[in-house]
């Protein structure tokens, strides 16, 4: 038996998802923008997926924009915030994913300044320092901080950050690639403008994801082309991948969500929940293999698994 300790890098696609995807590939080849029945059928699959994500995150279906995954989502929000919203200051952290840090390097110039919020010893965002940065001037600002860190598993105090952003009239983006599907998120309770997610982190296919864009926040498409996704993401939608990411009832996302929702001791955003997330990921086993989210190397006793004759793979 093998143990895979790299679920934060990617997860195994669930068998139901593979079946769902091949069904769509075989039977639903229409272009969702076509007005004939093949196209309309493809479109209806996409809209059903959109509704199921919106239901899980408690937002409106029109606020979910499908794309190719976390990297595209992160890039598009940072760049569009500068281009379309006139953002002059981006506040982020040094421990964001490269999809954020490298994009920040690219957008920083004489008109756009990037500020890195202070972090505490264990990687938590220093809220007082964030408050200081937000107060520093009255120019338009975007805060981009990840919901759950992909290496150390810290969970951002999203509620406090979102309240601070509202108080200082700053836009708030959260890279929730490691959170969606693993952790309960209720967008109706949070002042979040943008949220990024990717299907392959919660047992869906690779190369598909979505951005939540709050309906009151107006940005334009990041790439030029057709009017897909209500003009917010050009390019023919990857219907089979979208369905695979969100197929109702069998969807990995709702699977995890149900599990987390019923097992979580609290609905707060505190760091104590990290261990809970770990156990949520431990829960998933298929074909005799155990798949584990390796957020915190120290919290996993590798010897324990070796003694049980698991083959252990580690980053």
Task: Establish if 175 lies at the interface with ligand PLP (CB under 6 A).
Answer: yes
Compute CA distances 256 → 23, 62, 237, 281, whole Å: 23, 23, 25, 9
What is the smallest separation between the CB atom of 176 and ligand PLP, expressed in angstroms? Answer: 8
- Rounded CA-CA distance 181/247 in Å is 13
Told to check if 150 binds ligand PLP by CB under 6 A, we report yes
For residues 270 and 315, which CB has a smaller minimum distance to ligand PLP in the complex?
Answer: 315
67 binds ligand PLP (CB under 6 A): no
Stretch in the footprint of ligand PLP (CB under 6 A) among 69-77, 212-220, 239-247, 261-269: 69-77
181 scored as a contact of ligand PLP (CB under 6 A):
no
Nearer to ligand PLP, 11 or 217 (CB): 11
Query: Could you give the CA distance from residue 96 to residue 82 in angstroms, rounded to a whole number?
Result: 19
- Listed ranges 64-72, 121-129, 162-170, 274-282: which one lies at the site for ligand PLP (CB under 6 A): 64-72
Distance separating alpha carbons of residues 139 and 36, to the nearest angstrom = 48
Residue closer to ligand PLP by CB (options 174, 221) is 174
Please identify, using beta-carbon distances, which residue of 28 and 205 lies nearer to ligand PLP: 205
CB closer to ligand PLP out of 77 and 87: 77
With CB under 6 A as the contact rule, the residue among 46, 143, 177, 180 that binds ligand PLP is 177
178 near ligand PLP (CB under 6 A) = yes
Comparison of 156 and 190: residue with beta carbon closer to ligand PLP: 156
Q: Minimum CB separation from ligand PLP for residue 201, in Å? A: 7
Q: Is 64 in the site for ligand PLP (CB under 6 A)?
A: no
Our CA dihedral for 247, 213, 233, 37, rounded to 10 degrees, sits at 40
For residues 124 and 122, what is the distance between their CA atoms, to the nearest angstrom? Answer: 6
Q: Is 69 one of the binding residues for ligand PLP (CB under 6 A)?
A: yes
Single out the residue of 11, 71, 93, 260 in contact with ligand PLP (rule: CB under 6 A): 71
Q: Establish if 194 lies at the interface with ligand PLP (CB under 6 A).
A: no
Query: Is residue 76 close enough to count as binding ligand PLP by CB under 6 A?
Result: no
- Compute the distance between CA of residue 296 and CA of residue 278 in angstroms, rounded to an integer: 9
Which residue is closest to ligand PLP by CB?
A: 70
Binding segment toward ligand PLP, per CB under 6 A, in 34-42, 70-78, 184-192, 256-264: 70-78
Closer to ligand PLP at the Cβ: 71 or 92? 71
Nearer CB in complex with ligand PLP: 102/220: 102
The rounded distance, in Å, linking the Cα atoms of 178 and 198 is 8
For residues 10 and 169, which CB has a smaller minimum distance to ligand PLP in the complex? 10
Residues within the interface to ligand PLP (CB under 6 A): 69-71, 74, 97, 99, 146, 150, 175, 177-178, 198, 209
């Amino acid at each position: 038996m093998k143990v895979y300790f790299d679920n934060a890098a990617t997860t195994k696609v669930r068998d139901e998802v593979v079946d769902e995807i091949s069904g769509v590939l075989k039977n639903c080849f229409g272009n969702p923008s076509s007005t004939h029945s093949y196209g309309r059928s493809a479109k209806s699959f996409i809209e059903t997926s959109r509704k199921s994500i919106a239901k899980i995150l408690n937002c409106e279906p029109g606020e979910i924009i499908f794309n190719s995954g976390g990297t595209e989502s992160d890039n598009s929000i940072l760049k569009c915030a500068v281009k379309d919203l006139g953002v002059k200051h981006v506040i982020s952290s040094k421990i964001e994913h490269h999809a954020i840090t490298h994009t920040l390097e690219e957008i920083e110039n004489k008109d756009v300044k990037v500020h890195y919020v202070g972090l505490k010893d264990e990687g938590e965002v220093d809220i007082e320092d964030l408050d200081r940065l937000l107060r520093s001037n009255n120019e338009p600002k975007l805060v981009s901080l990840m919901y759950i860190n992909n290496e150390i598993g810290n969970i951002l105090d999203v509620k406090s950050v979102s309240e601070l952003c509202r108080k200082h009239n700053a836009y708030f983006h959260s890279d929730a690639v490691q959170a969606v599907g693993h952790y309960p998120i209720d967008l109706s309770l949070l002042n979040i403008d943008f949220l990024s997610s990717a299907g392959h982190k919660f047992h869906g296919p690779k190369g598909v994801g979505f951005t939540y864009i709050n309906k009151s926040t107006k940005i334009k498409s990041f790439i030029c082309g057709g009017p897909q996704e209500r003009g917010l993401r050009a390019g023919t939608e990857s219907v089979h991948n979208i369905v695979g990411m969100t197929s109702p009832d069998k969807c990995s996302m709702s699977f995890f969500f149900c599990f987390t929702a019923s097992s979580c001791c609290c609905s707060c955003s505190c760091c104590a929940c990290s261990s809970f997330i770990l156990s949520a990921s431990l829960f998933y086993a298929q074909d005799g293999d155990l798949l584990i989210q390796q957020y915190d190397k120290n919290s996993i006793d590798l010897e324990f698994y070796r003694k049980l004759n698991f083959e252990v793979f580690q980053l």
